[in-house]
Amino acid sequence: MLSENIKKIRKSKGLTQKDLALQLNVVRQTVSKWEQGLSVPDSEMLISLSKVLDIPVNVLLEQNLHTENELEIKDLSLRLEAINVYLAQKEKSRKKQYQKLLILLCVLVVLIFGFLVYFNSPYLEWNYANPERAVLGVGYHVFEWLFVRIAPVILICAIVEIIVLKKALKS
């Protein structure tokens, strides 16, 4: 199995999980998950793994390092490809949801701005003799003051992130 092969070859090269992880630019836990069979590296990572371990990819995918059966390797390759396609679709779906959430945030910020502009600071005309009105007016003023200063930054960051996600989803 792939998990056993990664572990055997890593140990034969005298590498720790941390050493291998550093060379692959992943965290040690990722290597541990591969070796435990909890996850599998994607096709790009398999190529990087084969380069770091100085061993062909097909050797990593062999069911048994000593006995090779091409049908088993092809079957394993097809399963890995299916897993990679599934993970890519899942990641794309997650990015689309995140993008929708950012668009919703932008709409919400614009609506609140519209609300604040439409009502034009109504607390300025309130009678502050009533303590409850005074607290409410101060709270409204603080909200407006903070929102007007923070919301543009949030809006700009959200728009930039939406553009970045749109480009990432196209590729």
Note the pLDDT tens digit of each residue in 36-64: 888 888 878 888 888 888 888 877 777 55
What share of the chain in percent tops pLDDT 70?
93
Band (pLDDT 50/70/90 cuts) for residue 169 is confident
Determine how many CB atoms are found less than 10 A away from the CB of residue 127.
8
pLDDT for residue 86: 86
pTM greater than 0.85 (yes/no)? no
What is the Cα–Cα distance from 41 to 44, expressed in whole angstroms? 8
Question: Using an 8 Å Cβ cutoff, are 80 and 61 in contact?
Answer: yes
How far is residue 122 from each of residues 110, 115, 117, 141, 150, measured CA to CA in Å? 19, 11, 10, 9, 21
Per-residue pLDDT reduced to its tens digit, 102-153? 999 999 999 999 998 898 888 778 888 888 888 988 899 999 999 999 999 9
Tell me the pLDDT of the chain averaged across its residues.
86
Q: Which residues contact 21 (CB under 8 A, 6 or more apart)?
A: 27, 28, 30, 31
